[in-house]
Amino acid sequence: MRYRFVCRNAGVRFCLVSWVGFNERICKSLVAAVSVLALLTVSNAGLSAGPDDFLTRVFDMPPNRKTLWLTPELKSEIASKLNYQFQQMRVRYWEQGTRSAWILDEIGKEQPITLGVVIDDNRIAALEVLVYRESRGGEIKQAFFTRQFEGTRLNSEGQDVSLDSAIDGITGATLSVRAATKVAKLALFLHAHTHSNG
């Protein structure tokens, strides 16, 4: 069935013809567009590796799962030295010999970023973005960025605690870079705390 719409504008006659199937084509196009957006959203979420995959890759054998209870004194020390406010009461980590792994969340711009950090001999052996939920700044998942952290350790001169090597930023991902750097410092600090106390 055909519909014919006629309109007059300044003496010129325009004919717009619509087929009954036109609406069906629009619906199919919309479904296809929504499907593509859904796939892009899932891939942008950065579900690169889950915690179990991460732990399997970074340890030779299954590590010991441990819990660090965050006492008010430890929280206060973290706040003063790292300018980091912990809300949790405890942090889980995994350990094998001198190597420990920490899976921590930190807010990027609006969403939490889940990072896995491996510390060996008080140096970062690996840092990986396990889940990235932000709409921008996903470049921090790339190896060119995460490799910068390998071999870094804490540099504590006076009250300031920082990494002993500079981390290059990424244009458009400033808050994500800051989040990764905060998590790296926190993991190094917590590793040092757990290994100095036992």
Own/partner long-range contacts of 26-35 (Cβ < 8 Å, ≥24 apart): none
125: left (phi > 0), else alpha (psi -120 to 50), else beta?
Answer: alpha
Q: Are residues 157 and 189 in the same domain?
A: yes
Percent of the chain, pLDDT > 70?
A: 72
The DSSP secondary-structure symbol of 62 reads: P
Asked whether residue 91 falls in the same domain as residue 14, the answer is no
**Predicted model pTM:** 0.72
161 shares a domain with 66: yes
Q: Which of the residue ranges 57-66, 98-107, 124-133, 156-165 would you say has the lowest mean pLDDT?
A: 156-165
List strand residue ranges (DSSP E) for 10-150, in order: 12-19, 64-69, 90-96, 99-107, 112-120, 123-132
Alpha-carbon gap, residue 130 to 4, rounded angstroms: 56
67-85, pLDDT tens digit by residue? Answer: 999 999 999 999 988 888 8
Q: Which residue has the tokens 């711009």?
A: 109
Q: Among residues 163, 63, 80, 177, which one has the least CA distance to residue 122?
A: 163
The range of the structural domain enclosing residue 34 comes to 2-44
Is residue 98 a contact partner of residue 77, using CB atoms and an 8 Å limit?
no
Tell whether 66 and 11 lie within a shared domain: no
Confidence of residue 122 (pLDDT cuts 50, 70, 90): very high
- Shared domain check, 73 and 36: no
